[in-house]
Amino acid sequence: MVAAASVVVAVGTVTGMVSALDDGQPSKDARPLVTRSPGLGPPPGSPTPSRTSAAPSASRSASPKHAPAPSPTGRKPVVAAPALLYRHPDTQVRDWVDTHPGDARRAVIASRIADRPSAVWFADFTPSTIAARVGAVTSAASARGRVPVVVPYAIPQRDCDGASEGGAPDLAAYDAWIDGFAAGLGSGEVVVVLEPDSIAQSDCLTESGRADRFASLARAGRVLKAANPRARVYYDAGHSDWNPAAQQAALLRRAGAASPASSDGVFTNVSNFNRTGDEIAYARRVLAALGGPAGLGAVIDTSRNGNGAPADGEWCDPAGRRIGQAPTRSTGEAGIDAYLWVKPPGESDGCRGTPGTFSAEYAYELAR
């Protein structure tokens, strides 16, 4: 169940967050046009989120795929830190901060949300401009030595025609749109969160429709990685209160997520509120059931999970939530490649405004 599309990632609590901030931005008049993220509704018949949260893993060992080789000299090898995530300047929260210098909430919202890197969503079906718009983001990030997080969100019948309906008119058009998206990826590192809800929330489709969607998603991964071998593509694993891990892994396998030609792993908790420890455990179960080559990992959306999911299962802008740990690619958790802010804190699920629009009141509530 995804509660809303977004542009960021987080985990934990506000206190003691380790940031991965960009250290400067181009001027506002140099900003490229970027689509606002829509709100995502829950899938029909989705289970109520559980309040039971496993404690975060105590293990802080490095992921095996990043573990350094033993030094022949006996000296401890030097391991380069992963490149920092990119903070794109053209966001709704940044616009609000820039235009409300006297607002008493501004300092909190600026420091705890606007100054943190988040994902950039491409949610409108605009074939003629998609390559240029993606390229504007990836080239700006590359120039700063940062890694952008981008979200293609245009699969036909997305959100099962719910609150975030839209996208391409059919899969042939979607395939062509993905070709354009891939053309904008450039040659630098980039993280691609491929189509939130597209796999976990595919039960509204007929079996043939699901098979066609999965074939298109597998193709999308291949096209994206062929266009930029440094692109890291992650597939939709839902979250820990949705499909059982084995069931989700079976769906992911059909969509190409076990193939290194298409995939670098899975993402969980996009726009949701489940605690990081629960998502780590779930992601590992999914990856174990998925199989595939060594090195597949997971990224977790931590943008609004500082207090976990609400007891009543409310998914639409629920009260009492908090931002979590800041986005980072240094998780210290085996198999967990990054904590991301995919859903930008403060962008509405549809109850505090039109889905995907920024609410300063909600942002302040999440951040303070």
Sheet-wide strand order for 149-152: 120-122, 149-152, 190-193, 231-236, 265-268, 297-301, 336-340
In this prediction, residue 331 carries a pLDDT of: 97
Q: What is the pLDDT of residues 310-333, one digit of tens each?
A: 999 899 999 999 999 999 999 999
In this prediction, residue 79 carries a pLDDT of: 52
In this prediction, residue 161 carries a pLDDT of: 76
In this prediction, residue 276 carries a pLDDT of: 98
Residue at 127 is within a domain: yes
Residue at 249 is within a domain: yes
In this prediction, residue 5 carries a pLDDT of: 41
Q: What whole-number distance in Å separates Cα of residue 345 and Cα of residue 302?
A: 10
Quick one: how many helices (H) and strands (E) in the chain? 8, 7
Three-state SS for 151? strand
Residue at 8 is within a domain: no
Q: Which two tokens stand for residue 361?
A: 């009141």
Below-70 pLDDT ranges, the chain: 1-80
Indicate the pTM of the whole model. Answer: 0.82
Residue at 102 is within a domain: yes
Q: What whole-number distance in Å separates Cα of residue 66 and Cα of residue 364?
A: 37
In this prediction, residue 292 carries a pLDDT of: 84
Handedness of CA 256, 259, 264, 269 (dihedral sign): positive
Q: What whole-number distance in Å separates Cα of residue 170 and Cα of residue 259?
A: 25
Residue at 172 is within a domain: yes
In this prediction, residue 159 carries a pLDDT of: 87
Q: What is the C-alpha R_g of the chain?
A: 19
Q: What are the residue numbers of the active site? A: 159, 197, 349
In this prediction, residue 267 carries a pLDDT of: 98
Q: What whole-number distance in Å separates Cα of residue 189 and Cα of residue 338?
A: 14
Residue at 61 is within a domain: no
| DSSP track, 157-225 | TGGGGSTT----SSHHHHHHHHHHHHHTS-SS-EEEE--TTTTTT-TTS-HHHHHHHHHHHHHHHHHHH
Q: Are 40 and 301 in contact (CB under 8 A)?
A: no
How many other CB atoms are found less than 10 A from the CB of residue 53? 17
Handedness of CA 253, 305, 362, 191 (dihedral sign): negative
Residue at 58 is within a domain: no
Burial zone of 169 (CB within 10 Å; 0-12 exposed, 13-18 middle, 19+ buried):
exposed
Q: What is the pLDDT of residues 186-209, one digit of tens each?
A: 999 999 999 999 999 999 999 999
Q: CATH no. for residue 300?
A: 3.20.20.40
In this prediction, residue 80 carries a pLDDT of: 64
Q: Are 325 and 104 in contact (CB under 8 A)?
A: no
Q: What whole-number distance in Å separates Cα of residue 345 and Cα of residue 350?
A: 13
Cβ-proximal residues to 306 (8 Å cutoff; 6+ apart), any chain: 10, 11, 12, 13, 14, 321, 322, 323, 324, 325
**Domain range for 126:** 81-367
Residue at 256 is within a domain: yes
| 3-state SS, one letter per residue, for 256-282 | CCCCCCCCCEEEECCCCCCCHHHHHHH
Q: What's the domain count of the chain?
A: 1
